[in-house]
Amino acid sequence: CILQFPNIKSSGEAARLIGRKVAWPVGERRIRGKIVALHGRKGLVRARFRRGLSGHALGTQVEIIG
């Protein structure tokens, strides 16, 4: 999954997020994942989630939990 955070505009800022945990809320539950790498030079990051995300996740928000 490719994630974009509103206050991060460069790869240097995004590099500080690698290793942080993220969660996508699904009703009462959350699908957890981890930021694993940078994607490009404009502050995007790649995240790997424990379970696959559905198409409903496109364009929605995730939470940084750790």
Tell me, yes or no, if the pTM score tops 0.95: no
- Dihedrals φ, ψ of 8, to 5°? -110, 120
Assess contact for 49 and 31: CB atoms under 8 A: yes
Quote the pLDDT of residue 66: 83
Q: Quote the tokens at residue 47.
A: 């995240």
Q: Quote the tokens at residue 37.
A: 């790498």
Q: Which residues contact 36 (CB under 8 A, 6 or more apart)?
A: 18, 45, 46, 47, 48
The CATH classification of domain 2-64, taken from the options 1.10.510.10, 2.40.10.190, 1.10.150.120, 1.10.287.180:
2.40.10.190
Assess contact for 2 and 46: CB atoms under 8 A: yes
Domain assignments of the chain as residue spans, ordered by start = 2-64
At 10-28, the pLDDT tens digits run: 999 999 999 999 999 988 9
